[in-house]
Amino acid sequence: MVDCKLPLRSFIMLIITLTEFTSLVSTEVYVVIVEGDPVVHYYRFSATSAPSGKKRNVSNNFVAAHVAYLTRKQDFLLESTFAKRNYKKLYSYHHLINGFAVDITPEQADVLVKRSQVLHMEKDTRLTTMTTHTPEYLGLPTGCWAELEGGLHNAGEGTVIGLVDTGVDPRHPSFSDQVPNSYKPPISYSGKCEVTSDFPEGSCNNKLVGARHFAAAAISAGEFNASINFASPLDENGHGSHTASTAAGNNGVPVVLGGFNYGNASGMAPRAHIAEYKALYRNIGGFFADVVAALEQAVIDGVDIISLSLGPTSTPRGTTYLQLLDVAMLSVIKAGIFVTQAAGNSGPYPKTILSYSPWIVSVAASTHDRTYPNFIFLGDKQKFPGNGITPGTDGEGMYNLILASDGRMRNLSNLDVDDCQDPDHFDIAMVEGKIMICTYSFRFSLGISTIGGLISTAHTLKAAGVVFLISSEMTERQRFIPVAVEFPAITIPSVNDSLAILKYYYTSRERSATGVMIGTGAQAKILGGQQANFSSIPPQVTTFSSRGPDVDSSDMNVADLLKPNIMAPGHLIWAAWSSIGESTSDGLKAQNFAMISGTSMATPHIAGIAALVKQKYPDFSPAAIASAMATTAFVVDSSGKPLLAQHPSNNVTEELGTATPFDFGAGAVNATAALDPGLIFDAGYEDYITFLCSIPGLSNSTIFLATRSKCVPGTNHLPSDLNTPSLTIANLTGSRVAVRTVTNVASKGEIYTASVTEPTNVSIKVEPEVLSIEGGEAKPIALTLTATRSSAIASFGSLLLRGNEGHMVRIPIAVLLKKPVP
């Protein structure tokens, strides 16, 4: 029995403990913006505010004094609001935004938000990840790298790419500085390497120059699991190592799995330095409060490029451009740092884009030209293609087939074993030495069953191999990702082919008079799919890649802004994986490399190429870097045919159709051409404020509270006036004039001739039609768009500026609602 007679002191302590526990479980993390300019605003930072356009040094005595002042004011606000100090301050933000993250109860939040010093407050939101041969595919070795001084051995030298992700495995050879051409420490980077028991001294080097972790919000939310999540920069997931090596991993690292060499891996900017800011965690994703803290640290440390393979799980409430993550990234841009973000993996439907603002380069994902063909040969000479990066069955001989339901234990006749997940459900004598026939169903889509479980079952039963059929309940729009395993296996992605294999099996099966299977004459062999096949197939927009048009609010109003911005390879990308990383979604054991897909994989391609552009043009603003890639992107293949999209957003029922700018932005990135763009469309912080001030329904006071910047009175701008390398008009009533300013970044003058491809039901006039522009000169180009027929269907065109020195500058044009004026 329990003695309930507690001493009075113990009883009081118990009540206090219970009260504290009740408070703990009812608290939530809030991000609060308060009065006072953050560092990048207080010192009026911009991409071109310092001599030669270089980033200003934010680590000086004046900045330190201002940071201390802001922190004191924040602490005073909290202390004066909550006299008992029954709150937990997680972070103090002072460079990108002036505010803090605090763990308090909803009742306390109601009190805090009423204080006059509080400009904005919102509950912390969850973020998620947007989950090689591609350097050759993008033409880097013979093109872009060769164009840079020093070639491959200097590609990205001196630039620092900061990645906010799941951490990094410092032991991976992709991040070693023990290479023939040794690395020098970056001059302008001042970041540190966090040291913990699982990320010991020496983990960083002159390649991996910085690594920190940010988990206060995840811990306060009760999501952090110390048994699988590391409170250090170490990557327990694998995603962060993958993106970091894609952006800037060492060149020539052998990709070896199961003793088979799949080739060599390289980052886009193999000589760039890597700084990892861990704010995402296994089975968690991340929280805004942690991500902003990571962004702040990256700016303080002095990175050149920031890559974000993360985003919200859905469209945020209110104005998309003023969600706290986007406001923070606007300040990153003001500090002169290029930011790229994954477009999202919610395609192919329209308005699924999850990266919204014009100061962010939003990246769509494409396929590339490498495939791993695999085949199964049947005993009746039929041959079927499939997926599976696997070895073939041993030798040249054929093996008997066994359907999963025919191989199960006799006493389990009513159990569905078609997914082949448990070896105890099978009679090993029936399966051993045969090729198992298993079936893909929605159980795999839901994660209940995994390919890892299937392979483990077949291996335990000593099967000769596995053929994985698609059930008739699935549709062929379900795209199967080939998985690298060390066991003979093949996935048949066609319903018709799957039925044909089953028909062959059933007609060859022998049963006893009582219906018990006694044998089968069905035989097969698996060819294997470890050898890559390289074709001339141009890139296609992947089904999963999120699509435009962009929206400016949670009301899903279409914006006068093009999203996504550009496309890069994001399908079946080989890159580094953490040696302690979690198994992939297929349930397979993690290895040092993984082939995965997502806009998460496309984004670091753009980050690496941006580093190469930054290396050649150190004075370029973030917008100039983005423009160089956008205006040189390609939208047609080598034969002049338009690029295609899997289920294009303007007709998602179509298996494969012509891609539009709402699928791929400006087009597929051309790294070599981006190093010599000819003209750029530049923009800076004040231009983005003007853009915000032009959005209908967005008040000047709201913009000031979010950005600490005021709208200029008396101006009459439209969102489409922003000087982007694209033109999108959501509602064209009558005519509209849009002006773009181009700057010649070539070494000498050039004469450009304009030509226009008009969107359907729109006429366009360009002035001037011939533009003569000197090196370093900036000139305007006016486009007058007129609706010629009413239509609510989006139509697309382009402006092409062809220079007499060989430069080709292209911007896409999109017009949605069209209404002529009589």
Instruction: Check whether the bond before 173 is cis (ω within 30° of 0).
Output: no
Active site residue 165: yes
Q: In whole angstroms, how far apart are CA 205 and each of 174, 177, 229, 478?
A: 12, 6, 24, 43
What does DSSP assign to residue 778? E
The candidate with the shortest Cα–Cα distance to 688, out of 592, 623, 629, is: 623
For the chain, how big is the Rg over CA atoms in Å?
Answer: 29
How far is 427 from 410, CA to CA, in rounded Å? 8
The candidate with the shortest Cα–Cα distance to 320, out of 558, 33, 127, 119, is: 558
3-state secondary structure of 398: coil
Hey, what are 295's tokens? Answer: 């962004």
3-state secondary structure of 705: helix
Question: Is the dihedral angle over the CA atoms 65, 68, 69, 70 positive or is it negative?
Answer: positive
Hey, what are 360's tokens? Answer: 């962010």
Residue 469, φ and ψ in degrees, nearest 5: -95, 155
Report strand pairing: 750-757 vs 28-34.
unpaired
Residue 652 CB: number of other CB atoms within 10 A? Answer: 18
Residue type, 32: V
Strand 126-129's sheet: what is its strand order? Answer: 280-281, 285-287, 126-129, 310-312
Hey, what are 3's tokens? Answer: 């003695």
- Please pick, among 46, 600, 649, 694, the residue that the annotation labels catalytic: 600
The label of the residue with tokens 């802001």 reads 70
Question: Is the dihedral angle over the CA atoms 553, 556, 560, 562 positive or is it negative?
Answer: positive
Length of the chain: 822
Residue 394 CB: number of other CB atoms within 10 A? Answer: 12
Q: In whole angstroms, how far apart are CA 201 and each of 195, 204, 233?
A: 6, 8, 12
3-state secondary structure of 10: helix
Active site residue 239: yes
In whole angstroms, what separates CA 258 from the centre of its chain?
28
How far is 810 from 789, CA to CA, in rounded Å? 26
- Please pick, among 41, 95, 133, 239, the residue that the annotation labels catalytic: 239
How far is 477 from 495, CA to CA, in rounded Å? 11
How far is 436 from 452, CA to CA, in rounded Å? 15
Residue 462 region by backbone torsions, left for phi larger than 0, else alpha for psi between -120 and 50, else beta: left
Residues whose CB is less than 8 angstroms from the CB of residue 400 and which lie 6 or more positions away in sequence, other chains included: 433, 434, 435, 520, 522, 523
Q: In whole angstroms, how far apart are CA 433 and each of 329, 429, 466?
A: 58, 9, 11
- Please pick, among 103, 165, 169, 552, the residue that the annotation labels catalytic: 165
Residue 180 CB: number of other CB atoms within 10 A? Answer: 6
Active site residues: 165, 239, 600
